A and B are shown apart, each in its own frame.
Chain A
Amino acid sequence: MSGVVTGRAEGRAGGRAALPVSRLRAADIWPLALLGLVSRPARAALSAVGVALGIATMVAVLGVASSSQAQLVAQIDALGTNLLTVAPGQSFGGQTVTLPPSAPAMVARVGPVIGAAAIGDVNAQVYRNDRISPANTNAITVYSADAGLLRTLQGQLARGRFLNAATARYPAVVLGADAAAALGIDRTGVQVWLGNRWFGVVGIMRRLPLAPELDRTALIGDPVAQRLLHATAAPVQIYVRANPASIAAVAAVLPATADPAAPQNVSVADPITALTARADASVAFQEQFLALGAVALLVGGIGIANVMVIAVLERRGEIGLRRALGARRLHVAVQFAGEATLLAGCGGVAGAVLGGFTTTVYAAARHWDAVVPVPVLLAAAGVALLVGAVAGLYPALRAARLVPAEALRL
């Protein structure tokens, strides 16, 4: 009788001969694990759905976050990191203060400042026409603006032109992207009811990433604001573009430059910092979705454990047979744990594909470049396999503990 598998030497009969051992080759484990899935494909697919959804959620969330961050970095690079804003702060007593009307001109005179443009408060509301109820303001703010504002912000127009020296003197208005949408205006040449007068829409801006606060505004020229609407010409915000190398130095001198009499009342901000903070906030928001994905994974894992426990009950005969054919408890456990792991692995792959697809669609809808980091995909596969292995542990132990004679009903 050849082909007897020998194992570790253990003195029993004869003192030096080896006890018989049963062996399962590593190469046979995965075909064995696959067997159970193949026999019940629909059940296998359904029980992998939970893990697939969990993994898909996580991959999509991380993919969208990565795409968004990549987009933001590109955006910041494109817009430059050399923008500062100057605004009136609060006085020591807590009252709101204003900047002197001369502040924009003073700021523009600082050496490294490349450009400065201000917006000023205008006490008026804008409506689609004169029949709209005055209460229905659409939360649009009207500001007066310098002609150089758009260039300083590196903003772009969706339609028409920005204010210039000529249109600034007449009832002409440029609308922010959200303001135009709220008013239902998508072209120039129409009129809006602003401060109880008709103003002609000469331009509609695209969104301003560095100054999102201007997206819901209507901008008119300083001269027309002062002449027709009795505006004070006090700037509420000055946008300053400076030499990137000197940005800190410029920030330091801006308060005293803008309001030499009360520099402590001037607040200088860096919109890039705000942009970065916004990105951080959106990551915090994503953590909730990640938690949601983790819950789906947990439920998916429990589902797999459940299905595997049922499989062990159904396949008592097969388990008994395998033990009779020489399988050790470990071999039976490995088969069922492997089956659960494979099941979750398939779910993980499906989930990663789904998550990547979701990211691509989402990014395409926002005109971003889709970014799904490879480490995220590898981690997703690892997490799925881990979930399967853990889920398979209990069913595997139950299978291994079956008494062969009882499983075979001998």
Chain B
Amino acid sequence: MNGTVFDSTASALELIGVSKVHPGPVAALRSVSVTIGTGEFTAIVGPSGSGKSTMLAIAGTLERPTSGSVRVAGLVVDGLPDRALSGVRAGRIGFVFQQFFLIPTLTALDNVATGLLYRGVPAAQRRRAAADALAEVGLSGRAGHRPAELSGGECQRVAIARALAGRPAVILADEPTGSLDSAASAGILTLLAELNSRGATILVVTHNPEIAGAASRVIRLRDGRIKQDSEAS
């Protein structure tokens, strides 16, 4: 860890008094403070418009809060220039989205390898890491298939492998089962729990009560505030 500003002993993610006010002014988040420890499997639940997605975007440095402070693996990201935030995302955060966002012309393996593209890792090394990540989500046999040849559940597994490939401090998942049928959803749920048991830190935004049930911690948001935290600190 020499030469980096990340602190491996720190919490994976910290939001301190984070507010987000959209012009209007409509408050999407109101003074939210939450600490996600390394190794946690946390679900954020709440009705539409409660600020879940805004919270995920701010935690993932895709959006800046109006006020408050965010730390990723110990690094205070407030006020960092865009290029440094990109570096934080490339090195410390893995994203999983409801729509998978796989690149249709690339094979599953190359899609996963794209997760390491912006780290400056040589292609051969990216593919090796991608093969490992694909094995972890149980899709080694599908490495050469393109997204169109994969089921929805398999596509989401590829996307999870892509987030996993860089061994991020935290995986942020936005409605990962939102586009899947119940059987595929259950498979993804099992996978997330498994990855968590092997040490991955996971923060999921979801409507799915089963995912919420599988998580070790559930945070309920309402009107931009934390209404309930099963592990209130």
Identify the A interface with B (CB < 8 A): 1, 3-7, 12-14, 17-25, 27-28, 32, 35, 38-39, 317-318, 320-331, 404-405, 408, 410
Contacts and interface: CB of A to CB of B under 8 A. Distances in A.
Nearest to A329: B82
A23 B76 contact: no
User: Chain A CB within 10 Å — which of B60, B83, B117, B123 has the most?
Assistant: B117
Contacts of A1: 1, 6, 8, 167, 169
Contacts of A20: 4-6, 75, 84, 87-88, 90-92
Nearest to B129: A3
Contact of A410 (B3, B8, B56, B115): B56
Interface in B73-88: 74-76, 80, 82-84, 86-88
Contact of A3 (B6, B119, B162): B119
Contacts of B53: 410
Contact of B1 (A4, A7, A328): A4
Contact of B118 (A6, A39, A325, A404): A325
B59 to A, nearest CB: 11
B87 A326 contact: yes
B101 A19 contact: no
Given A326-B90, A326-B119, A12 B75 contact: yes
A298 B60 CA distance: 42
B5 A322 contact: no
Name A's interface SS.
mixed
Contacts of A38: 105
A3 B97 CA distance: 25
A323 B90 CA distance: 9
B89 A22 contact: yes
Contacts of B41: none
- The 9 A-B residue pairs with the shortest CB-CB distance in the complex, in nearest-first order: A326-B90, A23-B120, A20-B87, A326-B118, A22-B90, A321-B101, A17-B5, A21-B87, A22-B86
Given A1-B1, A39-B104, A328-B83, 6 more contacts: A6-B4, A12-B80, A13-B5, A21-B86, A326-B87, A327-B117
B194 interface: no
Given A318-B101, A326-B89, A23 B119 contact: yes
Contacts of A320: 101
Interface string B37-79: 0000000000000000110110010110000000000111000
B117 A325 contact: yes
B221 to A, nearest CB: 15
B4 A4 contact: yes
B114 interface: yes
A23 B118 contact: yes
A318 B104 CA distance: 10
Nearest to A24: B118
A4 B92 CA distance: 9
A155 B66 CA distance: 91
Given A23-B119, A23-B120, A25-B122, A35 B6 contact: no
A169 B107 CA distance: 90
A25 to B, nearest CB: 6
A18 B115 CA distance: 22
A24 B118 CA distance: 5
User: Chain A CB within 10 Å — which of B57, B90, B101 has the most?
Assistant: B90
A54 B95 CA distance: 45
Contacts of B89: 22, 323-326
Contact of B4 (A18, A405, A408): A18
Contacts of A324: 60, 62, 89, 93, 95, 97
A317 B6 CA distance: 29
A35 B106 contact: yes
A38 B103 CA distance: 12
B99 interface: yes
B201 to A, nearest CB: 12
Interface in B111-143: 114-115, 117-123
A39 B57 contact: no
B82 A410 contact: no
Contacts of A23: 90, 118-120
A327 B86 contact: yes
Contacts of B60: 324
Contacts of B7: 13
B154 interface: no
B174 interface: yes
A410 B118 contact: no
A405 B86 contact: no
A3 B87 CA distance: 13
B90 A325 contact: yes
A80 B228 CA distance: 102
B62 A405 contact: yes
